[in-house]
Copies of this chain bind each other. A is one copy, B any other.
Amino acid sequence: MKHLPHKTIERLSQYRRALLLCLEKGKTHIYSHEIAKIQHITSVQVRRDLMLIGYTGTLRKGYNVKELIDLIGNIIDSEEGIKVAIIGMGNLGRALINYFAGKRSKLRIVAGFDTNPDKIGNTMSGVPCYSIEQLKEVVAAEDIKVGIMTVPADYAVDTADLLVKAGIKGILNYTPKPVNVPEGVYLEEYDMITTLEKVAFYVKLQETD
């Protein structure tokens, strides 16, 4: 398999999530148009993505849910799993940890970091909270590859630097402050305000025409 488009990677992750729900409901097969409906895209898009990963369904019966879940896993997961840390155990950090707790996945949040002495030493939904001072040490010891940043915006840049120095390979930045990382570290940033402003814009647009 060659390079999968970025967008396809995102959709594969989403397909899998939808498929897992279907599996729970006891569904064994699914059509491309059913997946499409769930994801608000077209069935052609789905078939094209599956073509790219070389999966072929059964004519007239659709795709085997279990097989497809496994195949997507082979593609996007790392075999050994990837360990994740959360930096900043506040409201958002807590929301993310809760959300993950209980999910069986190749991605595991294994550590949290904070500067607040009241939080350091506790665990939250099974995730231990360390001092930010211990970052490098714990990242190395646990072989943590990915860091999720949920610190106050003013600490975003410094925190990113710390993560890079600690040897983290991927950063997901939820603060509204863009940060910089060197070559070799994959960075993804998300700010809710952008999304909300986009929704508001299209609501306005819809009203004025």
Interface, chain A (partner B; CB < 8 A): 6, 9-10, 13-14, 17-18, 21, 37-40, 76-78, 82, 84, 90-92, 94-96, 98-99, 103, 105-107, 145-146, 148, 169-172, 176-178, 180, 184, 186-204, 206-207
**A188 to B198, Cβ gap below 8 A?**
yes
CB within 8 Å for A199 and B95 given contacts A13-B193, A204-B78 = no
A57 shortest CB reach to chain B, Å: 21
Q: How many copies does the complex hold?
A: 2
**A200 to B91, Cβ gap below 8 A?**
no
**A196 to B94, Cβ gap below 8 A?**
no
CB within 8 Å for A186 and B206 given contacts A197-B13, A200-B146 = yes
A189 shortest CB reach to chain B, Å: 8
Which residues of B sit under 8 angstroms from A18, Cβ to Cβ? 178
**A17 to B176, Cβ gap below 8 A?**
yes
The 5 closest A-B pairs by CB, nearest first: A91-B95, A170-B203, A92-B95, A170-B199, A13-B197
